[in-house]
Structure 1
Amino acid sequence: MITPALRPATPGDYDAIAAVVDTWWGRPILPSLPRLFLDHFHRTSLIASTGAGELAGFLVGFPSPSAEDEAYIHFVGVSPAARGTGLGRRLYEAFFGIARGHGRQVVKAITSPVNEGSIAFHRRMGFTVHGPHPAYNGPGTTLITFERALT
């Protein structure tokens, strides 16, 4: 596989992400990523694409508008063909640079307790893992939270 290039996202990238995200996850997940995230946070989100313009991965993240020292990674996807290549790490490291550029000192994220791959990945990336947190987003939504200080 060609090493994907990283670039800032644009609102127009939403359709390409929407076309593959459920397939990449193997279940309906698109409702967790409404278009508004790329409409409003594209400048701090990233797209990984091959030389042929094929989507290899993406990261949707933003500096918190309420917690001045924090940034949040909302959604990350890596094509099944690109998994195990370090692309997820590259996306996170690039976002850490964006967060630092906005004066942020902490990056946070969340996932479902059943997403063991995500939990292991975040641990490898130096995040502390907290939870599970019952009713995190209301009844029946137990989640795991992640936090990493930027140094």
Structure 2
Amino acid sequence: MTADRTGPVLQPIGPFDVDLLAELHHRCFTAIWDRPWNAKSFADVLAMPGAAGQILSVGDAPVGFGITLQAVDEVDVLLIGVLPEARGAGLGPMLLDSLLSAAASRGAARALLEVAAENRAAIATYTKVGFTICGRRKQYYPGPTDAILYERALNSCRIDDKSHQ
């Protein structure tokens, strides 16, 4: 993605980004059901075959990130987060679109994710961009909070396509 110096920019996650990812995670995920990830957690996941991700910056400031794990034709959206002060500007859907487009270019035909049943903002975003419920995990998160499982077919349509709005 190209943008001016003040617009949003996406870049692939590299092996030296784990401390930044841990800091972003700490600032993005603050609900009772969120589980903390540290630099080692990120290093372990990013070392797995099929792991990929992107950091989202506005100007020179990182404001979000997303990580996926792909196996053949399915991709799991493991994490996607935008700092609270940057939310509401369409950055989350833009980041998700980029992650899913990258996965589709690597052969993914289906995307999966899970979200805390209490996370209404995330659920609204996922529903708006074409994800549908495919399951539920009872008391999966602390709280105890259920996880709702979502899926979406990947094809040539981008998630910002008007057909999903």
Give the TM interval when normalised to the shorter protein. Answer: 0.7 to 0.9
Unaligned runs of 5+ in 2: 1-5, 156-165
Report the counterpart of residue 8 of structure 2 in structure 1.
4
Determine if the alignment matches structure 1 residue 63 to structure 2 residue 70: yes
Report the counterpart of residue 19 of structure 1 in structure 2.
23
Write the distance in 2 (CA, Å) between the matches of 1:133 and 1:43.
23
Determine which structure has the larger strand proportion and give its number: 2
Determine if the alignment matches structure 1 residue 134 to structure 2 residue 109: no
TM-score (norm 2): 0.76
Determine if the alignment matches structure 1 residue 47 to structure 2 residue 55: yes
Unaligned runs of 5+ in 1: none
The Cα shift of 1:62 comes to 2.3
The Cα shift of 1:115 comes to 1.2
The Cα shift of 1:131 comes to 3.8
The Cα shift of 1:57 comes to 0.7
Determine if the alignment matches structure 1 residue 37 to structure 2 residue 45: yes
Provide the secondary structure at the position in 2 that maps to 1:60.
strand
After the TM superposition, which parts of structure 1 deviate over 6 Å for at least 4 consecutive aligned residues? Answer: none
Provide the secondary structure at the position in 2 that maps to 1:142.
strand
Provide the secondary structure at the position in 2 that maps to 1:91.
helix
C-alpha contact (below 8 Å) 1:61/1:72 kept by paired residues: yes
C-alpha contact (below 8 Å) 1:100/1:150 kept by paired residues: yes
**CA 1:128/1:80 → structure 2, altered by over 3 Å: closer, same or farther?**
same
C-alpha contact (below 8 Å) 1:9/1:42 kept by paired residues: no
Q: Percent identity?
A: 28
The Cα shift of 1:41 comes to 6.5
Provide the secondary structure at the position in 1 that maps to 2:108.
coil
Write the distance in 1 (CA, Å) between the matches of 2:49 and 2:92.
19
Write the distance in 1 (CA, Å) between the matches of 2:96 and 2:56.
12
Give aligned pairs, total.
Answer: 145
Determine which structure has the larger helix proportion and give its number: 1
Q: CA RMSD in A?
A: 2.6
Report the counterpart of residue 163 of structure 2 in structure 1.
none
Determine if the alignment matches structure 1 residue 106 to structure 2 residue 113: no
Write the distance in 2 (CA, Å) between the matches of 1:79 and 1:41.
28
The Cα shift of 1:51 comes to 2.8
How big is each residue's C-alpha offset from its partner over 1:13-48, in whole Å with a ceiling of 9 and x where there is no partner?
121121232233334632388121234479621111
Greater CA deviation, 74-83 or 125-134? 125-134
- Which amino acid is the alignment partner of residue 52 of structure 2? T
**CA 1:74/1:43 → structure 2, altered by over 3 Å: closer, same or farther?**
closer
